[in-house]
């Protein structure tokens, strides 16, 4: 990965993270990394999954917006976009199409199911065209909202991306130290996770100090022994 590609990935992931951070119905962010999970993959953001399997329309729209955040950030900071958002676009299209054809969550189509039955479309080509237009309208509206949000939070995206470039992986406590608390009530599960992470960091710091003191004491003993041997 070239330095420019690495920087692009950092800003892409920061775009996802900041978008979700300021959307009320998105899943809480736990970790961001620009270390590829496998060959050919880019970085990723890890979220705390919802314990429920039921989603509101608002939650589904926020999923679309979070998925668009990486592409918007690329355009905002580099003036061009990359193929890094290909999986995001697939996800966006799938969710938006489900809003229209499966969940009955649009005024245009109402409480109607348009799922394929045994490979055949249970609707006309005219209806299919209208569905495509409605899907595009949903995605375009979400994209515009994310553009406005990330333009407003541009400094936070930059701060988070630069920290990612420095550390490569950052967890929730460090994310909060960079961009501040999320402006929504924290769920108990995420609060417990945060407390656990803080405890781990405290324990690790104490162990590091103990190890340092032990090393220093050992070095001091070795120096004293060496001085004693030289005198004798």
CA dihedral 94→96→98→103, nearest 10 degrees, is: 160
Q: Which of 13, 74, 134, 145 is catalytic?
A: 13
Among candidate residues 172, 206, 202, 166, the one with its CA nearest the CA of residue 186: 172
Q: Exposed (0-12), middle (13-18) or buried (19+): which is 46, by Cβ within 10 Å?
A: middle
- φ/ψ bin of 79: left (φ > 0), alpha (ψ from -120 to 50), beta (otherwise): left
CA dihedral 162→166→168→171, nearest 10 degrees, is: -80
Active site residue 13: yes
Q: Which residues contact 76 (CB under 8 A, 6 or more apart)?
A: 15, 147, 150, 151, 154, 157
Provide the annotated active-site residues.
Answer: 13
């Amino acid at each position: 990965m070239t330095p420019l590609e690495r920087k692009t990935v950092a800003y892409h992931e920061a775009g996802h993270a900041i978008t979700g951070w300021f959307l009320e119905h998105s899943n809480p962010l736990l970790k961001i990394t620009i270390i590829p999970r496998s060959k050919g993959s880019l970085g990723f953001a890890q979220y705390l999954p919802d314990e429920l399997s039921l989603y509101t329309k608002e939650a589904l729209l926020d999923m679309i917006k979070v998925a668009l955040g990486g592409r918007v950030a690329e355009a905002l900071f580099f003036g061009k976009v990359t193929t890094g958002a290909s999986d995001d676009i697939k996800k966006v299209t799938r969710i938006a199409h489900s809003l229209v054809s499966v969940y009955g969550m649009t005024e245009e189509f109402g409480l109607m199911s348009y799922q394929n039955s045994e490979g055949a479309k249970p609707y006309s080509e005219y209806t299919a065209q209208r569905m495509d237009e409605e899907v595009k309208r949903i995605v375009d509206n979400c994209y515009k909202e994310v553009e406005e949000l990330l333009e407003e939070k541009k400094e936070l995206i930059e701060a988070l991306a630069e920290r990612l470039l420095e550390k490569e992986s950052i967890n929730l406590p460090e994310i909060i130290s960079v961009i501040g608390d999320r402006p929504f009530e924290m769920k108990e599960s995420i609060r417990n996770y945060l407390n656990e992470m803080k405890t781990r960091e405290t324990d690790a710091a104490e162990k590091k100090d103990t190890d340092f003191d032990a090393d220093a004491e050992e070095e001091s003993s070795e120096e004293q022994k060496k001085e004693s041997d030289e005198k004798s």
